[in-house]
Amino acid sequence: MISMIQMIGEPIIAILIVIGAVLSVLSAFGIIRFPDVYLRAHAATKSATLGVLCVLLGGFLFFWVFDGYPSMRILLGIVFVFITAPVAGHLNARAAYRTGVPLWKLAKDELKPALKKKGIDREKAEKEPLN
C-alpha cells in the first residue's frame, strides 16, 4: 500500500519536473530568437536557471519521498546552480557592454553616463572591431 506522503508527493514531483522542462525549452527558444547578447543572457539566466532548479528540486523530492533519504548531491547542485548561473550571466552581459557590443533598438542608455565617470568610453569600444 502506498503511503499518504507518496500519494501527495508524486503529482508534486511530476509538476515540478514538467514546469522545469517547459521553462528550459522556453529558455532555449529565447536564446535562439532574441536579437542581441543582452536579451539572450536574460533568457539564459532567468528561465534556464529556474527550469534547472525545478527539475533538480523534483529529483530531490523524489529521492526523499520514495527512497527515504535526501540526496545531498542534488541539494548541493541546487545551491551551486542558484548561485553561479545568474552571476555568470551578469558578468557576460557586463563584459559585452564594456567591449562595445551594440544594443538592440535602445532609446536610452542609462549606463553610459556612469561609465564615463569611471573613464570607460563605450563609444570608442563600439567603433573598434573585436578580434
Tally of domains within the chain = 1
Kindly list the distances between the CA atom of residue 53 and the CA atoms of 38, 65, 81, 100, 122, in Å, as whole numbers in the listed order: 22, 18, 7, 32, 36
Parent domain of 65: 4-127
Convert the pLDDT of each residue in 99-124 to its tens digit: 878 777 766 777 777 777 766 666 66
Average pLDDT over residues 60-68: 92
The 3-class secondary structure across 71-82, one letter per residue, is CHHHHHHHHHHH
Confidence of residue 55 (pLDDT cuts 50, 70, 90): very high
When comparing pLDDT for 108 and 68, which is higher? Answer: 68
Q: Which pLDDT does position 75 carry in this prediction?
A: 93
pTM: predicted TM-score of the whole model, two decimal places: 0.77
86 burial type by CB count under 10 A (0-12 exposed, 13-18 middle, 19+ buried): middle
CB of 30 closer than 8 Å to CB of 7? no
Give residues with Cβ within 8 angstroms of 20, minimum separation 6: 50, 51, 52, 53, 54, 55, 56, 57, 58
* C-alpha span between 17 and 20 (Å, rounded): 5
